[in-house]
Amino acid sequence: MGQLIADVARWFADGTRWSGPEGIVQRLLEHLQYSLLSTVVAVLIALPIGLLIGHTGKGAFLAINLASFGRALPTVGVVILVFLVSGLNLWPVYVALVVLAIPVIVTNTYAGMAAVDHDVRDAARGTGLNGWQVLFQVELPLAVPLILNGVRLAVVQVVATATIAAYISFGGFGRYVFDGFAQNDLAQVFGGAVLIAVLAITLDLALSGLQRALTPRGLALQRRRSTR
Amino acid sequence: MRWSWIPDHAGELAMTTLEHTAIAAVAVLCGLLLALPLGVLAVRFPLLKGAVLGISGVLFTIPSLALFILLLPLTGLSYETAVLGLTVYTLVVLVRNTVEGLASVPPHVREAARAMGYGGTRTLLTVELPLALPVIMAGVRVATVMTISLVSVAGFIGHGALGQLFIDGFQRDFAVPVIAGVVLTLLLALVADLALVGVQHALTPWTRRGR
């Protein structure tokens, strides 16, 4: 174990490891590209669905069950299946990561909408807001903390799973994991795992900052009072 | 597409599905055996709570494949490596739900148990854990579905059960085994989830009384 840690330290200390077309910086950019693009597309698909079922209250049972079903989809299988159909391009990676991220964002968006107090919704109606105004001015802001919770969970999973891109010969930090495995070089696998975990945690922390900034002040105050 | 591959390999597919079930079941059970005491400790000692939730959260960010590979020096290309790795991933959900479930027990219920002369352990086993059961079971369901889908990653170290079909299909450029693997994984997750709903129903008769 001590030997492995020393090897990993040496792996990171090698200056040539960081730059160039196969360097850590390049791999970071690739990994970010796969993860962020997939998460953005997943949000664009999942958010309207979650808001719609939360606002209308219709289709919730179906959507939630489909979402939990979607969670069972094995990502490796999806990547390979899309690869066999579409050939050597990035589609398999993007399709698999988007499919992976959608369920958790849908369920959390719906949970956020469902948690909005009925009295608040009635009050908004009573002051004369129409359906769209209730959705965008009342429900959405109140649901934002839980929606971002879903996005955070999705990002962590997507960053960890983007490793798979290397299996079909693309880049990202997964390169180190697969190459290290093939070359029986555990230090390289360990280095790749550390890089991926650090990236996931960094993005999670950044989003938790965003979450705090976007939480409506009334909601934050209310929560602080109730935990006291 | 040569769909006849599926009936030709029906027996093999059934065996692989059973193997998949066994790996996932053992991993979730091990996870539960670890998560319950950890959750109880986290609720009892608030200082531990941050550490336990933090560590299980960090472990969750490690890509499953890397975790399997890093376990190789300890347990080799074995069934244990697959189960051990999967167990680690169940912890984040199971520990969090155990903590949430125990924290959701109303204080007055706990005080009533204390007033009736129940000791700490007896309160935990006969009052708090049963009341926390619905939340814990919700965690077990999520962890089970997640594990059933993750088993396939262990295919890279040779113990992926249904996931082995993906690698096989990839290497032979043949989609039918991949489709069979995906469909069987989804079906297995569905059946397991329904079974767990049944278990929860049987374990919590009081939630239905008086309806």
Spatial distance between the Cα atoms of B152 and B149, rounded to a whole number of angstroms: 6
In a domain, B100, yes or no: yes
Residue whose C-alpha is closest to residue B188's, from B28, B74, B37: B28
* Boundaries of domain holding B66: 30-199
Q: Please tell me the predicted confidence (pLDDT) of residue A170.
A: 95
SS3 B2: coil
- List of chain B residues whose C-beta atoms are within 8 Å of the C-beta of residue A181: 65, 69, 156
Number of domains in chain B: 1
State the ipTM, two decimals.
Answer: 0.88
For residue A77, the surrounding DSSP H or E stretch is: helix A75-86
Confidence of residue B211 (pLDDT cuts 50, 70, 90): low
In a domain, B15, yes or no: no
Q: Are A41 and A99 in contact (CB under 8 A)?
A: no
Q: Are A205 and A23 in contact (CB under 8 A)?
A: no
- Please state, as a whole number, how many other Cβ atoms lie within 10 Å of the Cβ of residue A67: 20
Q: Please tell me the predicted confidence (pLDDT) of residue A228.
A: 47
Q: Quote the distance between the C-alpha of residue A44 and its chain's center.
A: 13
In a domain, B97, yes or no: yes
Residue tagged 């299996």 (tokens): A167
What CATH number is associated with residue B102?
1.10.3720.10
Q: Please tell me the predicted confidence (pLDDT) of residue A226.
A: 62
Sequential pLDDT tens for chain A (228 residues): 788 889 999 999 988 889 888 899 999 999 999 999 999 999 999 999 999 999 888 888 888 888 878 889 999 999 999 999 999 999 999 999 999 999 999 999 999 998 888 899 899 999 999 989 999 999 999 999 999 999 999 999 999 999 999 999 999 999 999 999 999 999 999 999 999 999 999 999 999 999 999 888 877 777 766 654
Homologous superfamily of A2-227: MetI-like (1.10.3720.10)
Extract the runs of DSSP E, i.e. beta strands, from chain A.
none
Residue whose C-alpha is closest to residue B70's, from A7, A127, A35, A99: A7
A81 with B178: Cβ contact below 8 A: yes
Question: Can you say whether the dihedral through the CA atoms of A63, A66, A70, A72 is positive or negative?
Answer: positive
pLDDT digits (tens, 9 = 90+) for B79-112: 899 999 999 999 989 999 999 999 989 999 999 9
Greatest CA span in chain B, whole angstroms? 70
Q: CB-based contact (8 Å) between A200 and chain B?
A: yes
Residue of A nearest to B176 (CA): A81
Question: Nearest-CA distance from B119 to chain A in Å?
Answer: 27
In a domain, B21, yes or no: no
Q: Which of B62, B73, B175 sits opposite A81 (nearest CB)?
A: B175
Mean pLDDT of chain B: 92
- List of chain A residues whose C-beta atoms are within 8 Å of the C-beta of residue B70: 186, 189-190, 193
pLDDT of B40 strictly over 90: yes
Spatial distance between the Cα atoms of B13 and B82, rounded to a whole number of angstroms: 19
B66 with A73: Cβ contact below 8 A: no
Q: Are B141 and B176 in contact (CB under 8 A)?
A: no
Residue type, B87: T
In a domain, B53, yes or no: yes
Question: Nearest-CA distance from B173 to chain A in Å?
Answer: 6
- List of chain B residues whose C-beta atoms are within 8 Å of the C-beta of residue A192: 66
* Six token digits for residue A132: 């769209």
User: In angstroms, what CA-CA distances link B107 with A37, B111, B123?
Assistant: 46, 6, 12
Residue predicted with more confidence, B1 or B159: B159
* Six token digits for residue B97: 């739900």
Spatial distance between the Cα atoms of A41 and A153, rounded to a whole number of angstroms: 15
Q: Which residues contact B31 (CB under 8 A, 6 or more apart)?
A: B86, B87, B90, B91, B94, B143, B147
